[in-house]
């Protein structure tokens, strides 16, 4: 049942109190009912105010995980969600045809702004908020005890996954972290049911349809666009998968890594097998000229601590003409994992007041991977500040993939040229090293693509009922095999809940944005390198120091969500179409090399 708009209720009440006939009741309603424009203005102001309160409560909870902070975060989240649900329901009943283009867009945003819409029943709404908080707490407080005396957090376990080359140790850590997720299963199942009820009240078939409606196109068309992008880049991934599986077979033996099967997930240097860069030295041929440097070692050699790593990332953006981070950023961000309390270590960027109270929350490790991640997170902050003068409902990226892509554009610029300019290396490696550099990049960027796609493929099917609680885990591994060619290293059953071992599932963060970001970043990067006047192999371009590229990028960032994403894309690239061609151009030399290596080794690709 659709909730009746609050202004209609007040008009009916007035008609009853005055015992008016139908005609006078209509006249009274017309006199009192706010206009669609007034409704939008009221909703925007109200949501802006409560969003700041909710963000601060969530920040405190993520940095101090206790029962009290959980209760506060849950309550403010509930209040925000209930308001957003009410406004979404009311917006769905408004005829906005006479509104300005901007207000029509705001009305549409109000209708689809929620991630997990709550049912109108207050008890159910409160329960949904509690479930979200409990799921986040299970993840944030999760520990796996290697021994009874040594219990490790997810970042500590991830360090083992990145550095260990002992298959049995890796298998133990891999399985141990997934034990953290087992208690999430009944909570997640209940959350899905309640959120679906909320989505249906807003006119959507389920939460998945609501998520897919946020891309300036019919929800049914969006998966087709994703399929088109994936099919563009899939041959590159398949060549990389084939090569990596062959090299891991050489390292561990084909009894551990069968050459016609999916790759065991624990051997790829990452807790979720989503990025494979940590195994570069295992899969790069001994005679392949490598990058010529170890970024982790360079950071240590030059005395980079956690704060200096962040300061250097800030310098990248200021070199492009962006303002420095505000002083509050340095005072209020979390940079180092505290030893005296539980925190959510997953790296994230925050906008607390819809203005300039921007921060990052991250348990920084002094290594090359986190150096890149810091650049990425500051990209979010730069975007948040760029659109701060937009109306509240437009304070977001053109689509959620844009937000993730911006920081990654800067990460692509962490090239040897950039490292030389900031004094981390003395000389830029010769062109012969480019295949090594591209392989290292592909192990992160290309390897991620199917993982970025499959998580929401799984969730969309859960929301629609195609995947039920009885086969959560089996369906998860079916999709991982289908898209990634990855398999679990130990037997999995429905007593497990492996999706919950990935932060974004218990946190209810849509994940398709990351797939889109990995496509978009190369489009942005190529266009901005052209704007910077760069000439040469695209993979050697760095935007460091280019005010021209910074100005063009900022033009798009300032637009926020005020325009459909194709227009924002065109502001940088000149095209309104997302495409994988820029990524294929970037990795073209590597793709050719991978095909040659696979052919020379007589590998049978596929799984």
**Looking at the annotation, which residues are catalytic?**
346-347, 376-377, 380, 404, 504, 514
| Distant-in-sequence, close-in-space partners of 494: CB < 8 Å, separation ≥ 6 | 470, 471, 472, 473, 474
* Residue 469 CB-density burial (10 A; 0-12 exposed, 13-18 middle, 19+ buried): middle
Q: Cα-atom radius of gyration of the chain, to the nearest Å?
A: 25
Which H or E run includes 348? strand 348-351
Contact 346/63 with Cβ under 8 angstroms? Answer: no
Q: What distance in Å separates the CA atoms of residue 109 and residue 92, rounded to the nearest whole number?
A: 10
Q: What distance in Å separates the CA atoms of residue 386 and residue 364, rounded to the nearest whole number?
A: 25
Query: For residue 449, what are the CA distances in angstroms to 231, 233, 241, 289, 298?
Result: 11, 9, 12, 26, 29
Q: What distance in Å separates the CA atoms of residue 571 and residue 576, rounded to the nearest whole number?
A: 9
- The pair phi, psi for residue 33, each rounded to 5°, is -60, 130
- Residues 244, 437, 520, 373: is their CA dihedral positive or negative? positive
Contact 23/31 with Cβ under 8 angstroms? Answer: no
| Distant-in-sequence, close-in-space partners of 347: CB < 8 Å, separation ≥ 6 | 360, 361, 362, 363, 370, 373, 376, 377
Contact 122/128 with Cβ under 8 angstroms? Answer: no
Angle between helices 434-464 and 512-531 (to 10 degrees): 140
Strands annotated E in 352-467: 358-361
Q: What distance in Å separates the CA atoms of residue 221 and residue 510, rounded to the nearest whole number?
A: 18
- Which two three-digit tokens encode residue 580? 């994988």
Beta bridge mates, 152 = 144
Q: What distance in Å separates the CA atoms of residue 105 and residue 89, rounded to the nearest whole number?
A: 16
10 Å Cβ neighbour count for 423? 9
Contact 354/392 with Cβ under 8 angstroms? Answer: yes
Under DSSP, the state recorded for 5 is P
Residue the block writes with tokens 């993939």: 401
């Amino acid at each position: 049942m659709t909730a009746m708009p609050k202004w209609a209720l007040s008009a009916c009440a007035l008609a009853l109190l005055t015992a008016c006939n139908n005609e006078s009741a209509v006249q009274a309603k017309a006199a009192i009912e706010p206009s669609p424009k007034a409704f939008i203005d009221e909703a925007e102001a109200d949501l802006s105010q409560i969003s700041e309160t909710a963000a601060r409560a969530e920040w405190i909870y993520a940095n101090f995980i206790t029962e009290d902070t959980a209760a506060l975060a849950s309550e403010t989240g509930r209040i925000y969600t209930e308001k957003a649900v009410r406004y979404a329901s009311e917006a769905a009943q408004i005829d906005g045809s006479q509104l300005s283009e901007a207000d029509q867009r705001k009305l549409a945003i109000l209708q689809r702004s929620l991630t997990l819409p709550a049912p109108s029943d207050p008890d159910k709404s409160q329960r949904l908020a509690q479930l979200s908080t409990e799921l986040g707490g299970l993840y944030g407080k999760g520990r796996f005890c290697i021994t009874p005396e040594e219990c490790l957090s997810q970042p500590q376990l991830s360090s083992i996954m990145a550095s260990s080359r002992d298959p049995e140790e890796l298998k133990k850590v891999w399985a141990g972290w997934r034990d953290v997720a087992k208690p999430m299963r009944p909570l997640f199942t209940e959350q899905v049911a309640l959120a679906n009820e909320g989505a249906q009240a807003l006119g959507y078939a389920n939460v998945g349809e609501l998520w897919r409606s946020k891309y300036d196109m019919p929800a049914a068309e969006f998966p087709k666009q994703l399929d088109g992008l994936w099919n563009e880049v899939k041959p590159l991934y398949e060549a990389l998968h084939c090569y990596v599986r062959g090299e891991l077979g050489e390292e561990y033996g084909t009894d551990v890594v069968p050459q016609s099967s999916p790759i065991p997930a624990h051997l790829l240097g990452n807790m979720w097998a989503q990025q494979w860069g940590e195994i570069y030295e295992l899969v790069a041929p001994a005679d392949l000229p490598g990058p010529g440097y170890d970024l982790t070692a360079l950071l240590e050699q030059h005395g980079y601590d956690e704060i200096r790593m962040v300061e250097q990332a800030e310098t990248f953006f200021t070199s492009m003409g962006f303002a420095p981070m505000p002083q509050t950023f340095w005072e209020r961000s979390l940079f180092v994992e505290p030893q005296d309390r539980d925190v959510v270590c997953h790296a994230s960027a925050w906008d607390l007041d819809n203005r300039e109270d921007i921060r990052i929350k991250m348990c920084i490790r002094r290594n090359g991977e986190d150096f890149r991640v810091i650049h990425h997170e500051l990209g979010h902050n730069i975007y948040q500040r760029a659109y701060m003068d937009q109306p509240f409902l437009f304070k977001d990226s053109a689509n959620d993939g844009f937000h993730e892509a911006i920081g990654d554009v800067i990460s692509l610029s962490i090239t040897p040229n950039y490292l030389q300019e900031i004094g981390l290396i003395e000389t830029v490696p010769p062109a012969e090293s480019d295949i090594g550099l591209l392989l290292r990049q592909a192990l992160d960027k290309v390897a991620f693509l199917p993982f970025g796609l499959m998580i929401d493929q799984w969730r969309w099917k859960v929301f629609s009922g195609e995947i039920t609680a009885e086969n959560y885990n089996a369906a998860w591994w079916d999709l991982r095999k289908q898209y990634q060619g990855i398999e679990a290293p130990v037997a999995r059953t429905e007593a497990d809940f492996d999706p919950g071992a990935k932060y974004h599932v218990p946190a209810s963060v849509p994940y398709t944005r990351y797939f889109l970001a990995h496509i978009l970043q190369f489009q942005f990067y190529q266009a901005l390198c052209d704007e910077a006047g760069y000439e040469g192999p695209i993979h050697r371009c760095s935007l460091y120091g280019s005010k021209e590229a910074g100005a063009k990028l900022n033009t798009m960032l300032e637009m926020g969500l005020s325009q459909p994403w194709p227009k924002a894309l065109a502001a940088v690239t000149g095209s309104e179409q997302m495409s994988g061609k820029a990524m294929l151009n970037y990795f073209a030399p590597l793709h050719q090399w991978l095909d040659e290596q696979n052919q020379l080794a007589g590998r049978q690709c596929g799984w």
